[in-house]
Structure 1
Amino acid sequence: MKVVLITGGAKRLGQAMAERFAAEGWQVCVHYHHSASDAANLAARLPQARSYGLDLLAADADFAGLIARVVADCGRLDCVVNSAALFEEDGFFELSPAAFDRQLAVNFRAPLMLAAAFGQWLRQQDARGSVVNILDQKLFNLNPDYFSYTLSKLALKESIRLQAMAAAPYLRVNGVAPGLTLLSGEQTADNFARAHRMTALGEGTRPQSVAEAVHFLAEAVQITGQVLTVDDGQHLLPLARDVMFAVEA
């Protein structure tokens, strides 16, 4: 049975991906930080699933240790999905070093370090595996809102080809860039409903569609260094501001 580790897998998109992998016969390992009870509840209802805690923001976060714990429990690891993210609002003129560093640490440093630790384990075993990084459609439709978050995700996106080159042939590295999928932060239900439909296809992005794309890349053994945009065509409609603010304008 193949094994997948999903960071931030206890809720929201992470949960949808965990459910999809489980339905496809994978053993699911759910990473969490603050959501221990959600992770435990999800793991309890998925076949042979397990949950693992780690603070991705910590300067001494033991990424290699997390990989080792999963392998010790499950006997193998085939895919890591970097879904955990920190989404804090700021603008260029409000940049704070502390806030910038937090988002860079969670959204870029942690996925990079976890991928490197996984790739190192695969190389030692002479095995093959894959990483799928969760990005954002706004990287293909830039606006300056959520400035630090956007920069951190841009860094992750631009690193994917470099990671794929450096890690081959042991590790395939790809990305999925979802559109607006779930209500976020202080967004109202009415704002979300209107913003969700602001796409080329007019339906909005479903969590299940994102999960389907992630699972596809995990299984697609000859695809590496690619980013798949799953956003109902949201990136085809340029906006001067983030879609949440565009709706309010």
Structure 2
Amino acid sequence: MALSMDLSARVVLVTGGTQGIGLGITRAFLEAGATVVTCSRSAVTPVPGSTHRVCDVRDPVAVEALVAGVVADHGRLDVLVNNAGGAPYALAADASSRFHDKVVGLNLLGPLACAQAANAVMQQQETGGSIVNISSISATRPSPGTAAYGAAKAGVDSLTTSLAIEWAPRVRMNSIDVGLCRTENTDDHYGGDAGVAAIEATIPLGRMARPEEVGHVAVFLASDLASYVSGARVACHGGGEPPIFLSAATPAATPAATKES
């Protein structure tokens, strides 16, 4: 088997693939030669080289129609990237149950519906398929102000491991736990360049991710180079978040600590 990042024979569906991290993912797959279809809740200008469909991933009927349309147009579906998601800031005590329903619907139930529809197609294909769920570091650490979002992403990671077993060997399932990423909305969200710089100083690699870097991980997971990778949760967070006590502690130098060997 020839191993490469050449995806020129693959048909890829990227949900929420026209902005932010999704745009970086779409561009990465296009650069790898794939045929890419994006979707979102509204009609937008397609990313150059791709096609776009309107779909609310929280609606299972619409999702089934979306996948059926992709197969009708291209004859197959090789890769699904469940990227659509997100949540506005809201303290859990103040948010309504309807708000929480929408957040969980978009970030957990939507990916599940898309994965079910894609799996139904991939199981019938000789080459199977690959599903990549875009998760978050919020799945594994506290997420104050976006508690329902963090819980939903934890659910996505759990879903990934379960479906990797249920749908093997035809379909490979993996997730990417994404950390802070620099997008078109970052400056507004974190208070401009000064706020972004302060946050980036806490990241071991010294900066936020670029959207295309998340895309490169997704391309790898969808490629033959990852042919034996399934049920994995790949961290894409620049080294993670150092424990907060390290910035608060002021350890005194001691002979044992300063002695040279």
What range is the shorter-chain TM-score in?
0.7 to 0.9
Query: Kindly tell me: are residues 239 and 109 of structure 1, through their superposed partners in 2, closer, same or farther at Cα, counting changes over 3 Å?
Result: farther
Match of 1:227 in 2: 233
Moved over 6 A (4+): none
Does the 8 A contact of 2:123 with 2:170 survive in 1? yes
In structure 2, distance between residues paired with 1:139 and 1:239:
18
1:218 aligns with 2:232: no
Q: How many aligned residue pairs are there?
A: 231
Q: Which amino acid aligns with 1:159?
A: L
In structure 1, distance between residues paired with 2:27 and 2:215:
8
Q: Which amino acid aligns with 1:205?
A: A
Match of 1:243 in 2: none
What is the CA-CA distance between 1:234 and the residue it aligns to? 2.6
In structure 2, distance between residues paired with 1:78 and 1:221:
13
What is the CA-CA distance between 1:89 and the residue it aligns to? 1.4
TM-score by length of 1: 0.86
Structure showing the higher helix proportion among its residues: 1
Match of 2:122 in 1: 122
Of 4, 28, 39, the residue aligned with 2:12 is 4
1:188 aligns with 2:195: no
1:112 aligns with 2:118: no
Of 193, 197, 200, the residue aligned with 2:204 is 200
In structure 2, distance between residues paired with 1:206 and 1:139:
20
Q: Which amino acid aligns with 2:206?
A: G
Alignment map for 1:89-108 (pairs within 5 Å): 89-108=89-108
Work out which of the two has the higher radius of gyration on C-alpha atoms and give 1 or 2.
2
In structure 2, distance between residues paired with 1:12 and 1:197:
22
Match of 1:244 in 2: none
Alignment map for 1:13-162 (pairs within 5 Å): 13-34=21-42, 36-38=43-45, 40=46, 42=47, 45-46=48-49, 49-58=50-59, 60-162=60-162
In structure 2, distance between residues paired with 1:57 and 1:156:
14
The alignment's C-alpha RMSD in Å is 1.8
Query: Kindly tell me: are residues 167 and 192 of structure 1, through their superposed partners in 2, closer, same or farther at Cα, counting changes over 3 Å?
Result: same
TM-score by length of 2: 0.82
